[in-house]
Structure 1
Amino acid sequence: MSSIDVPANVEEHADAILRVCSYHRRDFDLVVVRSRPHDMRLVQGSLRAAFETLPTAELGILGRLPAELMSIVLRGLDVRSFFYFRQVNRRARVLSTGLWEYELVSKHALEGLRGLLRAELAHCFTIDDLYRTLITDKCTTCGAFGGLLFLFTAERCCFECLQSSAHYRALPPSAFAKLAKISPSRLKRLSGLSLRTVPGIYNMMERPVRRPKYLIFEEKAIQTLLGIRAIGEDSIRNLRSRREQSDQRFMTATAYPYYSLENAKLERGVSCKGCQVRLELVHGDLDHRDQVFSTRGFLFHFSRCVETQHLWAESKGGTRTVKEPELTRRCGYFNQLGSDGRPA
């Protein structure tokens, strides 16, 4: 996002502007697949460190490879195999822990690693796949800032596209089989991947949802079955006309921050407080209020958002606390608010 032209006077006060005028939509993180903070703390230390004692055993024929080739081999291992390799011995642990891509992913994107492992999709992607997504900030579908990882493809997406784009449709295998007029056993044999769901909230109002044991990535399954002529056009029409349970889309993604190689900073995405102010005062655009920006994207937006500039002016250059909407103060996570952000 460095190509975004941010005015010099805005760039000069960037940190203070972000602190006063933006907020992170925590509710977007909580409604998708996530781990309990306690569980994360328990595993992160062991994932990021090798054993204190020095290695004594070798790696057999693998130990003869030059360091550069060994790194290529490790980057090419799928995530599940990579962790199996880490368990071989201390030398394997040292080599895998020292891999630059793994170091960044295990430090900044642990939810992605855990999400793939819990969804039983870790054998489909490499550490390098997760690393490349980590250092890319754009949603694959729309090009806006994307703060989520779509587990079926390990690609970055934004919350809006996850909710609305046909690309991210997911169905339980039983529903897919019925609509496609194919037996469940044949579907399982031919369609390939399925995602194992895990317990979670999966809706903004924290209401209990029916969680199927597995989900199928509709787009990929249709492509595969069409390619071998296992289904026809009538099956596709049935599938695409089915009304979705939107909660199931949230079971296929997890929060995934962006790591900037340019300045070595981590970004989780921010939203605009001024857009919430406009929504409450004049019933503005709800979709615009929900937009998530990178740091530079927000600074560019700030230079054009009148309400946000008013907040900045009230703060006297970030030196005074300003009154802000309840929704932004709570980082979006307030289930007693209506759709406009006001108390219901």
Structure 2
Amino acid sequence: MDPVIPAGLQSENVYQFRMEDANTIVKRLAYYNSKFRHSVIWYPSNKFLGVWDGMTYTFSRPSNATLGPDIGRLPMDILYTILENIDIESLIRFRQLNLEARHIVDSIPHGKYQRVIEHAYILLRALFGPPSQLAAKVSLVDIDTALCTAACAICGEFSGFISIPTWKRCCFSCLQRAPELRMQSLAGARKEFGLTKSQLEQLNLFQALPGTYTLEDRPLELKDYKHTIVSIHQAAIISGQPPHPVPPWKQFFNENYMTSCPLPFYDRRSNSHVVESGLSCLGCHYARSHNKTVSTIEKDATAEKLYTTDGFLRHFRICDQAQRLWEMIEAGKELPGALQVIRGAGFEEPREYRYLCHTDRP
């Protein structure tokens, strides 16, 4: 999908650059915005060491154990189909039965299990982590399909996140503002919609995990599991009442952050199996505070967009401010100091913890 930005931020003509400069343009003018990742459900990779042994270890020695007469008689293609579509919690329990079960799960066709474990580890942690226990509601196919989807379900542009209760891929802008993704505390929804006991029982409840859920310098710290969150969209459908209008000054809700997590895009159509976490534009970030012709809301939404590498280069062709910065670089000038700090801190791609296959375990 071609990038869309406000007219006031677009260049007059589509910018032409030499293809040999493409990598330099990306390296100098794109960065990974860690604030976005850290404002939602997020865990540093060292929190996973030793936690997922049952999910990741393989064994080189053969297994003498069997799966029993009933499962053992199933054709492998049928068994694979069953394992792909049962809930992920049951799949992991099955894998822990014995070496034979572990080998079967690891050999699910097209590498589905391996790529989900390797690239969707934060989502898995959110699904399995107490008290949410949502792992019993989604399958390996559900997670793999989300992982291999690039587009935001709301606006169609590149997504770098997933709203867990709605199970929708989303960009950061839609995560904050889209009515379909709006979340609220259970107490707030009960009060707003006058929900009865039977209506409350129909809601999908999400127990917020401890974390920091804001982009502000003074973070909101949620330290316990007592915050229950529901979808406003679902509550409105169940109650038959429209939600209250959102004031212009309140464009996003911390509850939206509490129910979402980063999820990279795995391009399974590519021979090189590219994984994209989403690039931000340094030019759009600079225009946020220096362009006076575009509204703050439009500038914020534009600066929040994420791109694949190819998508960023398409965006660069029409981004006036990014082109101005590139011309400074080509002229041998230094970027403004604040931009150098941002690019220096954010150029390193997020380190997704790689679950290496451990062999010959005792």
TM above 0.5: yes
Corresponding residue for residue 325 of structure 2: 311
| Corresponding position: 1:82 with 2:86 | no
Corresponding residue for residue 280 of structure 2: 271
Q: Is the Cα contact below 8 Å between 1:44 and 1:107 reproduced in 2?
A: no
Question: Matches of 1:74 and 1:13 in 2, distance apart?
Answer: 46
Corresponding residue for residue 233 of structure 2: 219
Q: Higher relative CO (CA 8 A, sep ≥ 6), structure 1 or 2?
A: 2
Within the candidate set 22, 38, 46, 1:38 is matched to 46
Q: Is the Cα contact below 8 Å between 1:33 and 1:115 reproduced in 2?
A: yes
- Name the aligned partner's letter for residue 269 of structure 1: G
Question: Matches of 2:66 and 2:193 in 1, distance apart?
Answer: 52
Corresponding residue for residue 181 of structure 1: 194
Matches within 5 A, 1:49-64: 49-60=57-68, 61-64=70-73
Deviation of 1:330 (Å): 3.8
Once the two structures are superposed, what CA deviation does each residue of 1:49-73 show, in whole Å capped at 9, x if it has no partner? 3234432211121122222222111
Corresponding residue for residue 22 of structure 1: 30
Deviation of 1:122 (Å): 1.5
Greater mean alpha carbon deviation, residues 214-223 or residues 72-81: 214-223
Corresponding residue for residue 168 of structure 2: 155
Question: Matches of 2:150 and 2:158 in 1, distance apart?
Answer: 6
The residue matched to 1:156 in structure 2 has which SS? strand
| Corresponding position: 1:97 with 2:106 | yes
| Corresponding position: 1:300 with 2:309 | no
Question: Matches of 1:133 and 1:269 in 2, distance apart?
Answer: 15
Q: Is the Cα contact below 8 Å between 1:101 and 1:131 reproduced in 2?
A: yes
Question: Matches of 1:50 and 1:101 in 2, distance apart?
Answer: 16
Q: Is the Cα contact below 8 Å between 2:86 and 2:140 reproduced in 1?
A: yes
| Corresponding position: 1:144 with 2:153 | no
Alpha carbons of 1:65 and 1:165: their partners in 2 closer, same or farther (altered >3 Å)? same
Aligned-pair identity in percent equals 25
Matches within 5 A, 1:156-171: 156-171=169-184
Deviation of 1:276 (Å): 2.3
| Corresponding position: 1:207 with 2:214 | no
- Name the aligned partner's letter for residue 25 of structure 2: I
Alpha carbons of 1:91 and 1:113: their partners in 2 closer, same or farther (altered >3 Å)? same
Within the candidate set 78, 84, 104, 1:69 is matched to 78
Alpha carbons of 1:8 and 1:316: their partners in 2 closer, same or farther (altered >3 Å)? closer
How many aligned residue pairs are there?
318
Deviation of 1:321 (Å): 7.0
Question: Matches of 1:281 and 1:175 in 2, distance apart?
Answer: 38
Corresponding residue for residue 112 of structure 1: 123
Structure 2: gaps of 5 or more residues: 5-13, 348-362
Structure 1: gaps of 5 or more residues: 226-230, 333-344
Deviation of 1:31 (Å): 0.3
Question: Matches of 1:270 and 1:95 in 2, distance apart?
Answer: 36
- TM-score normalized with structure 1 length: 0.82
Question: Matches of 1:306 and 1:172 in 2, distance apart?
Answer: 41
Deviation of 1:89 (Å): 1.6
- Name the aligned partner's letter for residue 315 of structure 2: H
Deviation of 1:12 (Å): 4.0
Question: Matches of 2:40 and 2:321 in 1, distance apart?
Answer: 30
Alpha carbons of 1:310 and 1:173: their partners in 2 closer, same or farther (altered >3 Å)? closer
- Name the aligned partner's letter for residue 291 of structure 1: K
| Corresponding position: 1:240 with 2:244 | yes
Q: Is the Cα contact below 8 Å between 2:193 and 2:236 reproduced in 1?
A: no
Corresponding residue for residue 207 of structure 2: 196
- Name the aligned partner's letter for residue 21 of structure 1: L
Once the two structures are superposed, what CA deviation does each residue of 1:117-141 show, in whole Å capped at 9, x if it has no partner? 2232212211111111111111000
- Name the aligned partner's letter for residue 48 of structure 1: T
